Amino acid sequence: MFELTELPIDSTALRAKLARPEAGACVVFEGWVRNHHLGQPVNELHYEAFDVMAKLEGDAIVTEIEHRYPGCTVLCVHRTGALRVGELAVWIGVASPHRQAAFLACRRGIEEIKRRLPVWKKEHHPDGAAEWVNCTTEAASRGPKSADYYARQSALPEVGATGETQLANARVLVVGLGGLGCPAALYLAGAGVGQLTLVDSGKVELSNLHRQILFTTDDLGAPKAEAAVDALRARNPFIQLEALATEFAAQNARTLVAGRTVVLDCTDNFATRFILHDACFSAGVPLVQAAVHRFEGTLDVFRRGSGGCLHCLRQNRSVAELDAAAGNCSGGAVFGPAVGVLGTLQASETLKIILGRETAETFRQTHLINLLDCSVLSIAREANLNCPVCGRVETASSGAARTTSASADTPVMLEAAELAALGPVRLIALLDAGETFDPSRAVAGTLSLPMSDIAQLREMTATTETVVLTCRRGVRSAALARLLRAEGRADIYAMAAGSPAIMAAP
């Protein structure tokens, strides 16, 4: 519960409100009015709050803390109006079955109230002067300066003032906060990436701690995204951090990727990797991807139009086959320094892209790192000519291309309402490796075709009908629609939402 009050705070009564039989600990913080600030004497303070906003934000803070630390009961009271030296300005109490949770919850309450609550105070000095101070920026005014924080980095000729501005303006998404995501996020925050969004639906477990360096035993059971933001905020107060304790999936992929400078794939399974890859490919956002198995790891940087994509590497194998071959990292054996090295390399590649220090080879090579013999092997990653996503397939030789005003870059994705407005269409479901087609669950007349059979696709679309392509996630069908448009087929589209209802893995 959160309260604003103009009355003096009665700490004894507040502690009594927290008493309950199952509580084994009570931790209390009291903020008093002191007689000085920044070297000046103070004899009185006057607090003013936006009451409605402050109450809503205070309630939200208390709710978040109680959710973060199950079993804790939190009570916070903040004074408003005039206060003399020695009076209580803020009181936070936490009752909990265990002392450790009570300590952690109380400390979080102190920091969040100071950082987020819309409260101002006016300091009155003995000489009659008075000045307003924003409580949320007071600590920052006394604390470290960003120029000092980044001094050793900005001294690099490759960074300098221009690079610092580029970093500050960057918007980076990190998906997965395991052994890869933790070091990657740590170095990106340290470098001053201006807006860093962290996505992970998991919670911190004891088995994570040997390699997931942002977390401690105090974080056990906490949402990884929130615990990571707390750790990074403590290291760098000069950047914007956003925690999303949600699963990265096809339904939110486009929204999360849109507008990012770079995206990092720090996940542990191929199903999510392909969703993330396809969303970045569609949006034209560079993707820095790494994977680790035991002592070995791979590093790839993908950018549309440069080198082969993730689908070029799969060689028509299903996601299940890839996970089996690579040893899905989720729950598998892993050498802690291996994920540390690969995650750090992901941060390095990301910073190079932001600073404009990447080369053409950055997007055309796969790096294989083996920590057992400390070897690094870099191999070319060329586009597969028959890749349905990025392959440079030659124009069909059966006659000249049709005349059209559409180009490969013309938007081709259609929502359901737009699809209905086209009238009669030929719907073709493109099947990935391992997927099957159920005509009984499809729109009448829907045809199916393996994703890789581009020659047959050309034949099936060489009609006067309007054609709509669909696949599980909608991204590769859009890529093929653009390819066929580039070959002169103007009236071909892709379904934006895909068609999971008519396709399923065996």
Long-range contacts of 11-18 (CB under 8 A, 24+ apart): 11/88, 11/91, 14/75, 14/77, 14/91, 14/93, 15/93, 17/75, 18/73, 18/75, 18/93, 18/94, 18/95
Q: Where are the beta strands (DSSP E) in 371-415?
A: 375-380, 413-414
Closest CA to 275 of 262, 261, 287: 287
* Beta strands 240-244; 195-199: pairing state: parallel
List all residues 6 or more positions away from 128 whose beta carbon is below 8 Å from its beta carbon: none
Q: Where are the alpha helices (DSSP H) in 403-451?
A: 416-421
Q: List, edge to edge, every strand of the sheet that includes 2-5.
A: 2-5, 73-79, 88-96, 25-32
The dihedral region occupied by 136, where left means phi > 0, alpha psi between -120 and 50, and beta the remainder, is alpha
Task: Copy the structure tokens of residue 41.
Answer: 């004497």
Backbone angles phi, psi at 79, to 5 degrees: -75, 155
What is the sign, positive or negative, of the torsion defined by CA atoms of 482, 488, 493, 494? negative
- Are 369 and 299 a contacting pair, CB within 8 Å? yes
Q: How many residues are listed for the chain in this entry? A: 506
d(CA 80, CA 36): 19
DSSP state of 337: H
The whole-angstrom distance between residue 184's C-alpha and the CA centroid of its chain comes to 12
- Are 491 and 463 a contacting pair, CB within 8 Å? no
Q: Dmax over Cα atoms in the chain, in whole Å?
A: 92
Catalytic annotation, pick one of 135, 266, 309, 329: 329
Active site residue 329: yes
Closest CA to 121 of 136, 142, 140: 136
Name the burial class of residue 473, with classes exposed (0-12), middle (13-18) and buried (19+) by CB atoms within 10 angstroms of its CB. Answer: buried
Task: Copy the structure tokens of residue 463.
Answer: 């009609």
- Count of other CB atoms within 10 angstroms of residue 38: 10
Backbone angles phi, psi at 64, to 5 degrees: -60, -40
Q: Cite the active site residues.
A: 329
